[in-house]
Structure formats: C-alpha cells, structure tokens
Structure 1
Amino acid sequence: MPSDKPRRFTFLLLDRFTMMPFTAAIEPLRLANRASGQTLYSWRLVAVAGDHATCSNGTRVALDGTLDAEPVPDRGDVVIVCGGTDIARAATRPVLNWLRKQARGGATMGAVCTGAWVLAEAGLLDGRKATIHWENHDGFAEAFPQVDLYRSVFVNDGNRMTAAGGTSSIDLMLHLIADAHGEALATEVADQMLHTAIRTDQDRQRLSIPTRIGVRHPRLAAVIARIEGNLEDPISPAQLAQDAGMSTRQLERLFRRYLNRSPKRYYMETRLARARNLLMQTDMSIIEVALASGFSSPSHFSKCYRALYGSTPYRERGTGTVSHA
C-alpha cells in the first residue's frame, strides 16, 4: 500500500563491498522517486566507523553515519547489507550485534552479493529462504545448513530478502517497487535503466551450461550437469557414458572435440574449483575440503591442487583472496 511517509533504506557498506550490487540496489529507488514525482524512498549509507567506505575496486563512498550513531529503526524500514570480498572477516561482533538490534526493532533485513553470509552469521536467516552469489554457494551451504539456500537471482522471504550479486539487485528492487506501487512504475524504472528483461525469483544466477561452455550439444550438457551435481562422490567416465547412452570412447571424443580435455580432466578441474572456493570462503579443515570435493586422500588432493593452481591448499588458505561479483 502506498504511504505518505517514504520507506527508509539503510545500506550497511562493509569493508571492500562490491560496487555493482550496491549501485544496482540504490538506483531503482532514486528512479522510482523521479518517475513518480514523489519521495517514495529515502536512504542512508552507514559503515562500522569513519566518514567513508571503500569498495573492492578502491572507490571511496561518503557515509551518512556509523553504526553507533544509528537510531532504532521504524517498523517497515529496510536494512541492506552490502558485502564483497573476505566476507567472513567482515562479520565482526559490532556488525552482528547491530544487525540483530535492527531486526528486533522491526526492520526488514536484506543483503546483496555476499552480505547474506553476515546475516546468516547473525542468526537472522535461520529457517529462512535465501540466496548468495554462486561462487559462495558451496561454502555458505557448508557453514549455514540451517538456511534454506536457493540458486535464484534473488529471494524475498517476507521480512528477509537477499540478492545474489551483480545486477540481481535491480530485479529485487523492481520486485519491491511493483509490490508497493504497481507494475507500471516498476516497468518505467526498468526502462530508464535499459533493463529489458526483468527477472523473477524463479530465474537462476548462472547461464545455461550450453551458453557457458559455448557449445549447444544436449548430451554434452547433460553429462556436465551430472558432473557439477556429483562433486563429492565422483562418477566414473564409464558410468557417465553409459547413463548418457554412449560408449566411453564416444564420450572421450565429445569432450576432446568441444572442450579440448578428457572427461576425467574436466571432472578434476571442476572438483578443484569447488575446493578452492571452500578453502577461501570457509573455515573447513583441509581434509574436510578434500572430502567435500571428492578426494579421500589429503596428499592426493594436495598434489592435484598444486598441479592445477601452482600452490598447495595450505598456502592458498593463507591468501584468502577470492573475488566476488
């Protein structure tokens, strides 16, 4: 229902937050005000301390306040956590306590990009539906099994809302604008942003497998889908071929023709990519990461990892530098 009072958004900018999801969230609000000729939305930018926040590309954003100076929210206010790189380190006690206080005060709690990790760390997503950037999905699922995690571009679960990153913030905000002020206004805002395909909470984050690999071959796509869905318990090439209705030799030729590698090699690279994400994004032990990626032997895992990435899992864990959209 429209209200005479603007709906207030507070954006919590964590250190090294990602700029695109943040700007993609705030611009639809500005354009909704402009298109409607009314102040439907207002917003504030806050951080833990200081007079500016620094995003992952080095840009500084001026703040309106800090956590210790923020008032208790009105019911109906929205708090959006803007995350980015090294998100687990941003989940400090002051941040978690402030978020819990905002939730107790009746604010709707939201997050963009990796900000969902911090909401989950605060216990504010327990038993709720949520999403996070696909690169962080596996680590999040391991760390917060109590959260009902989806791979969609955004999730709106009542007074909890999450957008996966990149331009998905636009779709979440258009959804909120349409709910509050009608589809016509949301469409006008989308047109202003040249956002020609408004996605719903049913749309998935990643491109289809044929689009990602640049090959439209149904059998190859089906095999890759099976590989991506069975990383913890790998399936043999012979079984993959049999399930796809072809011989092992045919499967081998298919992978070499289109991907320039064997099925076994492709499977190994996919498992190791998952392991790398878990190393960077969770506190799981090396052996736990190995097992979650289909390796029963830590030494074999370390050998394969070093062959692909030029560093051991132990050294990689020390760098902790995986970027996010």
Structure 2
Amino acid sequence: MFGNVPRELPQQIALVLLPRFSFLPFTGLIESFRLANRLSGQELYRWKLVSTDGQPVAASNGLELVVAGDLSVAETCGTVIICGGIDVHLIKDKGLDGWLRKADRRGADIGAICTGSYVLAKAGLLEGHRCTIHWENLAGFCEDFPEIEVTTELFEIDRNRFTCSGGTAAIDMMLNVIARQHGHELAAAVADQFMHERIRDQHDRQRISLPARLGVRHPKLLAVIGTMEQNLEEPLSRSELAKGADLSTRQLERLFRKYLNRSPARYYLELRLNKARLLLLQTNMSVIDVALACGFVSASHFSKCYRDFFGRTPRKERGLPLKGEPEPGEEDIEALH
C-alpha cells in the first residue's frame, strides 16, 4: 500500500509529466521529497522526471522542464506518479496506458495529481478503487467514468492507488505519507519549512467554504445556494427552494437581491451554465447531453442562454463549426420557471 514504510531506501519515484501539467502540485511533491531528505539527514526519496517521448515538457504556465528520458528509464521505479494539468481528458496514448498496466503488474504503487486521474481511469487502473480529482474536473470525470468511485476528498490513498485533487493538496498528501512512513515529527518539520501551519487530512474541503467564496454569511441564503449546487441536473422550483429554507418566495427573492444583486432564477441559471461550460471543455458529451445534464430540456434554449452569458455558443466553445447547431428561439420548459 502506498504510504507504508518502504522495503528499501531511497524510495524510487517516477514523475510522468504530461503536456501542460500543473506546476504547483508538481512542485509540492518535489519540495516535499527534497525537504524530507534534507531534514532527515538521509536520502529517503529519489525521483526522476520522465515524459512519454523523452522530450522536454512545458507546464501550463509555460515553463519547460528537461526530463531524464522516456518511460523506459523508469522501469525500476516502485512508485509512479502521473502529473496532469490542462486538457488531460483529450490525451489518447495507448503506449502510456500499456506501460502503466505493466507497472501495475510488477507491483508498483501508481498515482496521479490534479487531472492525472483521467489517465489512470482510461488505463483501467481505477476500477475497484476510490479516487479524487480537482473540483473543477469532477463533473466531467463522473460523466466519462460513471462506474468509478470518485470523491471530493483532498486526496485518496486506496491500497496501491493514490490520487490528489491538485494545488496545495499535493503538499498535504505527501506530508501525510511522510508521517506514515517516517514519523509525524519529520512531517511536521517539513510543514514548518513550507510555513504550512496545518497538515490537512484527506477529508478537508477542496474548495473554500461558501461564506468565504461568496462573502455572505446569511444561513438561509447559504442553505438555498447549497441546495441549488446539489440539484443542477433537475433544478428545483423557486417555491421548492423557498420551502426547503423555511422562507416565502418573496423573502427568497429579497435575500438574493440584497446579497447577490440578482434573482434566485438568475443565480441558479448561472450555476447551471458554469457546470455546462466545464462539461463542454472536459468531456466529449454532445451539446444536447450537456444541456440535459444541466437541467435544460431544449438544446436551442441552452444554446441561447449560453451565448447570452458567455458571448459564444456551446459549439464555438469547443472550437467546432456552427453547422448543424440548433438556432435559439425554441421554447424551453425549465423547472425553475
């Protein structure tokens, strides 16, 4: 199991860099390894950077890293970490899939940070395992892999699979692993070097709380917004939302106008459209399927709402030609209205 005391030191780790990988979680891993080595006074971790073709890889921030070689140079590594980032769901690399399955057969611990979970899922390595992914990619991942148990945890360690939601969560995952393998005192010392005042566990939130995110602390308003976020595919009516928060519809309207400067219907629509954008960018779902997944029953109305909000149609969002896209204007029976 990943996180157990390694059989021998240093622990050999291969970091597979994918094009446009996220730099922050990657750096969090590397610096955790480096500081653990430095503060322990011994080489606990040894890592190498690899790419699928042995060529340098540019991160999403444009920085390009030289690697030790292609996947073949990592054949003896007992731990493999896929470093994902932007548009990983578009990667189709049978060579990488096969190499990962081979690493699994030889008993390697295999994991991913940020959107690298997509690669493990496509290779069939997450079946029967819990995993997590960055909150922004969660809806798309669930649509593409409905049979996989995906959570909203900061990170998941399930036997010899481990996944991390990305960002600074990579630091917390490694601090927890360091604590398991080499003691809490060393993990705390590494956290101190980071000026990371608390080692979060896997159950901490990925996102900041609703009050912090919105700058609002009215409990009934927050309760309604939480209910909206949980019911995007089948939107609730205004009266249902009000009743659930023990409010009248007029009180509900006033709360949204006062604190968010928009109607409940408008706020709900924006939530659904933002989810739709993520699905368009992160999945191969058709426009109509995206519309249905976000509570619209008409592709034409969805297209009109999307264009009004984002300034472009759903097809143009994907860079597709406009041919065949339904024209806006058809009536849409929305549950909200």
* TM-score normalised over the length of structure 1: 0.95
Q: Judge conservation of contact 2:39–2:190 (CA < 8 Å) in 1.
A: yes
The equivalent residue for 1:58 is 62
Residues 303-318 of structure 1: matches in 2 within 5 Å? Answer: 303-318=304-319
- Aligned position for 2:327: none
Residues 291-325 of structure 1: per-residue CA shift (max 9 Å, x gap): 00000111111011011011111111227xxxxxx
Quick one: distance in 1 between partners of 2:12 and 2:217?
46
2:47 is matched with 43
1:255-294 correspondence to structure 2 within 5 Å? 255-294=256-295
Partners of 1:15 and 1:90 within 8 A in 2: no
Say if 2:50 and 2:74, in contact at 8 Å, map to a contact too.
no
Q: What per-residue deviation string (whole Å, max 9, x for no partner) do you get for residues 140-187 of structure 1? A: 001111211110111111100011010000011011111110101100
Query: Which runs of no fewer than 5 residues in structure 1 stay unpaired?
Result: 320-325
Q: Distance in 2 between matches of 1:53 and 1:18?
A: 11
Query: Counterpart of 1:209 in structure 2: which amino acid?
Result: L
Corresponding position of 2:229: 228
Aligned sequence identity (%) = 53
Counterpart position of 1:6: 10
Which amino acid letter does the alignment assign opposite residue 300 of structure 2?
A: S
CA deviations on 1:65-112 (whole Å, 9 max, x unpaired) are: 112x325335xx111100111112224112211111111111101100
RMSD: 1.2
- Structure 1 residue 46 displacement after superposition: 0.3
Q: Which residue, 69, 76, 82 being the options, matches 1:73?
A: 76
Residues 1:174 and 1:91: Cα distance change in structure 2 (over 3 Å)? farther
User: How do residues 19-30 of structure 1 correspond to structure 2 at under 5 angstroms?
Assistant: 19-30=23-34
Task: Determine helix, strand or coil for the equivalent of 1:173.
Answer: helix
**Does structure 2 conserve the Cα–Cα contact (< 8 Å) formed by 1:18 and 1:85?**
yes
Match of 2:332 in 1: none
Give the Cα–Cα distance (whole angstroms) in 1 for the partners of residues 262 and 8 of structure 2.
61
Tell me the residue number matched to 2:218: 217
Paired residues, number = 316
Judged with a 3 Å threshold, the aligned counterparts in structure 2 of structure 1 residues 71 and 151 are, in CA distance, closer, same or farther, namely closer
In structure 2, what is the Cα distance between the partners aligned to 1:96 and 1:50? 16
TM-score normalised by structure 2 residue count: 0.91
CA distance 1:71–1:131, shift in 2 (3 Å): closer
Question: Distance in 1 between the 2:289 and 2:49 partners?
Answer: 39
Q: Are the aligned partners of 1:153 and 1:205 in contact in 2 as well (CA < 8 Å)?
A: yes
Q: CA deviation at 1:53?
A: 1.0
